[in-house]
Amino acid sequence: AIAASVASGGYLEVDAGGTATGTQVGSGGIVQLTDGGIASGTTLTNSATLYAGSGATAVGTVVQDGASLQVQQGGIASGTVQQGGTTTVFAGASATDTTVNGGALTLVESATATNTVVNADGVVSAFGTLSGVTVSGGEVDVFSGGVVSAANLMNSGYLFVEQGGSAIAASVASGGYLEVDAGGKATGTQVGSGGIVQLTDGGIASGTTLTNSATLYAGSGATA
């Protein structure tokens, strides 16, 4: 299917061996990818939904305000550009090369995401594994069971590590901010010029390196 338009009440299903390219999905429209189905260049607008099921692949999806991309167990999303709305990656699913310019990306426990960019107005909630994320003006929150590795924080990019979450080998540059709260842990953090690490009560940071004009604040009950 090429350049299909799916409006309210419309339904497009792409099954094994099928491909949908350049689909426009409007308010209330639904796209379902089953095992082996592929959708590329899909644009989701207000209250549209794309479901990428087990074995399915969604490539280059644009998620706008009010829309939803649901990557289900065994599904893959690559090259997603999120302008708003929500993207949810469920357990056993994966997302690669995602750019979050707005809206919310959620990684459920046992979900994975690699090579993610989070810009201003973008928020990522990680209960799963997030590897290789650049945060510039956006925010990443790591919750219990979540692991963030090789995060690069800059230009008002924020990373919050909550109870049971961990950050490994983060790099905090000028304007970047890493906060480790009670029960959270940051390991092997590199903090450069102007970068800030804040440990609140119960937060732990180990193996931190502070260079020119970097700062680590270890508050009451924190451990550095």
Q: What is the mean pLDDT of residues 74-94?
A: 99
User: Is 35 contained in some domain?
Assistant: no
pLDDT computed for residue 118 by the predictor? 99
CB 27 within 8 A of CB 9: no
Q: What is the mean pLDDT of residues 9-38?
A: 98
CA torsion through residues 69, 71, 72, 75, sign: positive
- Roughly how many angstroms between the first and final C-alpha of the chain, as a whole number? 56
Q: What is the mean pLDDT of residues 62-88?
A: 98
User: Is 191 contained in some domain?
Assistant: yes
Structure confidence at residue 60 as a pLDDT band (50, 70, 90): very high
Which token pair is 4? 């299909």
Structure confidence at residue 189 as a pLDDT band (50, 70, 90): very high
Between CA 40 and CA 30 the distance in angstroms is 15
User: Is 103 contained in some domain?
Assistant: no
- Counts of helices then strands in the chain (DSSP H, E): 0, 33
Q: Percentage of the chain surpassing pLDDT 90?
A: 100
pLDDT computed for residue 205 by the predictor? 99
Between CA 200 and CA 204 the distance in angstroms is 9
User: Is 181 contained in some domain?
Assistant: yes
Give me the number of domains the chain comprises: 1
pLDDT computed for residue 125 by the predictor? 99
User: Is 126 contained in some domain?
Assistant: yes
Type of residue at 158 = Y
Nearby residues of 178 by Cβ (< 8 Å), 6 or more positions away: 153, 158, 159, 161, 167, 170, 172, 186, 189, 191, 195, 196, 197, 198
Nearest to 79 by CA among 49, 39, 119: 39
State the average pLDDT for the chain. 98
Q: What is the mean pLDDT of residues 56-79?
A: 99
User: Is 208 contained in some domain?
Assistant: yes
pLDDT, tens only, 169-187: 999 999 999 999 999 999 9
Structure confidence at residue 17 as a pLDDT band (50, 70, 90): very high
pLDDT computed for residue 121 by the predictor? 95
User: pTM here?
Assistant: 0.97
User: Is 50 contained in some domain?
Assistant: no
Domain that holds residue 143: 111-224
User: Is 2 contained in some domain?
Assistant: no
